Every structure is written in C-alpha cells, then in structure tokens.
Structure 1
Amino acid sequence: MTAVVIVAVLLLLWLVTGVRVVQQYERGVVFRLGRVSGRVREPGVTLLLPVLDRMRKVNVQVVTMPVPAQEGITKDNVSVSVDAVLYFRVIDPVKATVDVQNYAFAMLQVAQTSLRSIIGKSELDDLLSGRENLHQGLEVMLESPATGWGVHIDRVEIKDVSLPDSMKRSMARQAEADRERRARIITADGEFQAAAKLAEAAAKMSDTPAAMQLRLLQTVVEVAAEKNSTLVLPFPVELLRFFDASTVRIAAEGSGDAGDAAVEAPAQGAAVPAQTPADGS
C-alpha cells in the first residue's frame, strides 16, 4: 500500500511539472520527441508530458520594427537616404517556428532589400510627396515572403527621406522662386482689378459732375482730418474748363473783329480813287 501511495505521489509530481501557462498574447507550439504535436495551444493552462514534450511560446502581438536608413540613387539620379518602420504580427505560430529560424531578423533583412529596391524604382518627387503608393508597393514586396513564414504585414511606412545639402539648397531656391512667382501673379491680378474698378468709377463720375465735386470735398475732409500743418487744396478742374472755354470764345471773337476790320479797309480804299475825277473836273 505504501508503494502505491509513493508511486501515485511521484506520478502526480511528474504531471505537475508538465503544467504550463500560456498568456493571452501568446500561442504555444508543442514538440513531442522533436515533432510538432497536436494543435497550437491557446491562452490558459495547458498540460505537457514531462521529458517527452517541449513547448515553444510565440508572441502574436503586433511588432514595431524600425528599418535602418538605406542609401540609394533614385530613378532621376538623386542620392538619398531613406528609413522606414515596419508593423507585422505572427498569424501562424507553427510556420513562424518551424519554417524560419528567426522570423524577426528575416523580416528585417527583407524590409531593407525591399526599401533599397523601391528607392531605385522611384523618383525624388514620389519619395517626398507620393508616399502612399510607395507604402503599398513595399507591402506587396514584403507580403509574399512573410506569408511563407506565417507573418502578416499590417503596414509599412517611410519615416524620413534625407537629401544632400546641395539638393536641399536647390529645392529651397526653387520653392522661393515659385512663391515669388505666385506673389507677383496675385499682385498683378489685384492691380488689374483695381484699375478696372477705377476706370469704371471715373466713367461714372465724368457723366455726373456733381459726383466729382462730392469726391473732391470728401478728399479735402480726409486730408484735413490728419491735422497736418500744411493743407494742399486741389485746383477745381471745372474752373480750368471755364477758363479754357472763355479763352477759346475770346479768341474766336477777336478773330471775328479782325476779319470785319480787314473787310472794311479795302472797301474804303476803293472809294477814294472813285472821287478824284470828280474833283478835277
């Protein structure tokens, strides 16, 4: 009886040593005598056969992996340095354990080669402004090997694009020139619209002289409100027009009087010779 109790206790201790706990973010792959045994162990308490079974836990959380900066030459012959970040997670623990020795290191190497490849296939403008398409291209390039290793690519993003100093200066000059061009266009457009409005206002004021007088008075009031020591009053344009018209009228009258005098003078000269024969007779 004592032997039976001892055997039972030893058996119980042997079984207790095979108890394992799998966390919520883990999955367990059990190897029995070197071969994958049964299904993947889910989170919770699981029982292994001591000595015979060995369990390897696989983390199924999303892994954030920075990809070191990769240098390359773009399609338009610009030397750049690009770094990225990769987000992935294990969806098949058996493949991630059996088919690849270190899936994280393998994903890093594939990400680096894919990043260098995408640099050579892209132009500088694509790297700077068209990153969404590049992200999709990188995901496609990484998805094929990742699937064979039981890994799913959540997303991959380009973090930074480093340019040579000479290229930065060239781009700064180009951006400054573009801003100046837009500013000049806006200024010219504003001046054109203002000139059109001024021409329209001048046309309306020329049709209504009273409006011109009101505008003149308004200008005088605005100038006087500034409290300057010297006040300059504009000369009325209508007065100039009056003087001009008077000058023309006087000139016309003067030319008319001169013409009448010229006509009367020849008439008197012709009458004198006509009276001479009468006196002599």
Structure 2
Amino acid sequence: MGVPFGLLVALILLLMLVLSSFRILREYERGVVFQLGRFWKVKGPGLVLVLPVVQQMVRVGLRTVVLDVPPQDVISRDNVSVKVNAVLYFRVLDPQKAIIQVENFLAATSQLAQTTLRAVLGKHELDEMLAERERLNLDIQKVLDAQTDAWGIKVANVEIKHVDLNESMIRAIARQAEAERERRAKVIHAEGELQASEKLMQAAEMLGRQAGAMQLRYMQTLSAIAGDKNSTIVFPMPIELLKGLFTKNGDADGR
C-alpha cells in the first residue's frame, strides 16, 4: 500500500520546516530573537531553535570592529583649515540595544565619529593637533563612548592617523621652526657668554690676590704659543720689571 502523494509532500515540507528552524551561531555571534514582532530574548552561541513565521532572528557580531573615519575638513581654533582622518575601534556589548535602539549601528557609529571628530578638533589649535594627539584621542574616545552607550556599543579606542596641511601652511611651519631654532641658538650663546664672563671674573680675582700670579700667567701663555715657529710673538713686558730698571738707573745717576 503506497503513501498518498499529498501526504508525502506534506511530510517533506514539514521536514524542511523543522530543519530550517535550527540555526548555528558562532562563538562571537548572538541572535536577537523577535516573537510576533516583539523582543523575546538573546540566544547563542551554538545550536538555536527559531520557529518559522512565529519568530525572527537577527545576527549580531560581538568582535571588535575597525571603522575607518574618512578625511574630514576641520577648522582649528586658530582658523587653520586641515584634513584629518582617524580609525575607530568598537564592539557591541548589548545586542538587544544595538538592534532595537538604532536602525543600523554601524552607519550610526560612523556618522557620529565623523561629526565628533570635527567638533572636538575644532576646539583646539593646530599645534595641539600635531603635538598632543594622545590627549585628543582620549577626548574623542570619551565623547563617542558616552553617546554610543545607549546603543549598547563600547568605543575602545580612537586614533588620529593623518593631519594633512596645504603647502603654504607647511612652509609657514618650517619658517616658524627655523626661527625658533635660531632663537634657541642665540639664547644658548648668550648664556655661554654669561657663564664665561663669570668664570673670567673669578679668575681675575684669584690672580689679583698675588703680585706674581699675573707674571706666571704671562709665562704660561708664552710657553703655550712658543711651539709654533712660524709666527712672530709680541709679548708685553710686565710694568713691574720696567719699574725695577728705572729705579736702578735713577740710583746710578744720583751717585
């Protein structure tokens, strides 16, 4: 006795319906299940049973998402126009909020990152953008994390990648850096002259304490430069020696 064709078709459809009810979620995936349009529960990972027609499931990944923020035109607080791009690292902590509270959490996070990047960097000067990126990264990360918390998203990190300047601004920065280096060189030279004058003054005080100290210094200088035989040395004679000669000649004439 054969099985009726209609019953066979019904059994096949029932088997296909049962098989389609089973879903497999990976370790990093969760399923947000809706029953008759209302939120029911979050399932996964592993084997999940979803009743056809009655229930619907939306997959949500829990891995960290790397989002590239496209270049943004930013006007700094000192009225300098630059192009800045960044990279954003975030992950979903609450799949229920990520599906229910926002239509597309990826697109929403991307748009929010772009506007926040322009808003935060616009409050700072160009020098701060170039020299204090770590602090600016933390400021942007805190703002984004506070705003995406209602979506069940955790912003782990924000990194500013490039700050592009036009050619005229690059030349201006180069001139500024050159002027700053010249200023430092002049200050260092002046400090060296000041220290040298202080040491010379101390040496003069020490030499002035002894009458023959200056003559010994003359002799030491003469000994130092006498090694060069190609030069003519004009060495001043100490006044004390001349006074001695004049005194002896005076005594001879008086006699």
Residue 111 (structure 1) shift: 1.3
Residue 152 (structure 1) shift: 1.8
Alignment of 1:1-281 (within 5 A): 15-37=18-40, 39-50=41-52, 52-208=54-210, 211-212=213-214, 214-223=216-225, 228-230=228-230, 232=232, 235=235, 237-238=237-238, 240-247=239-246, 250=249
The 1:230–1:123 alpha-carbon spacing in structure 2 relative to 1, beyond 3 Å, is closer
Larger helix percent: 1
TM-score relative to the length of structure 2: 0.78
- Identity, % of aligned positions: 43
RMSD of Structure 2 on Structure 1 (CA): 3.4
User: For each residue in 1:218-270, what CA deviation from the matched residue of structure 2 results, as whole angstroms up to 9, or x when unmatched?
Assistant: 44554455xx44265563633x432244336756987x89xxxxxxxxxxxxx
Q: SS where residue 191 of structure 1 aligns?
A: helix
Letter aligned with residue 241 of structure 1: E
Q: Is the 8 A contact 2:121 2:136 kept in 1?
A: no
Number of residue equivalences: 249
Q: SS where residue 121 of structure 1 aligns?
A: coil
Residue 30 (structure 1) shift: 1.9
The 1:231–1:126 alpha-carbon spacing in structure 2 relative to 1, beyond 3 Å, is closer
The 1:145–1:230 alpha-carbon spacing in structure 2 relative to 1, beyond 3 Å, is closer
Letter aligned with residue 246 of structure 1: L
Cα distance between partner residues in 2 of 1:253 and 1:199: 41
User: For each residue in 1:185-243, what CA deviation from the matched residue of structure 2 results, as whole angstroms up to 9, or x when unmatched?
Assistant: 11111122122212322332343355545545544554455xx44265563633x4322
Cα distance between partner residues in 2 of 1:213 and 1:231: 22
Higher gyration radius (CA): 1
Cα distance between partner residues in 2 of 1:128 and 1:88: 25
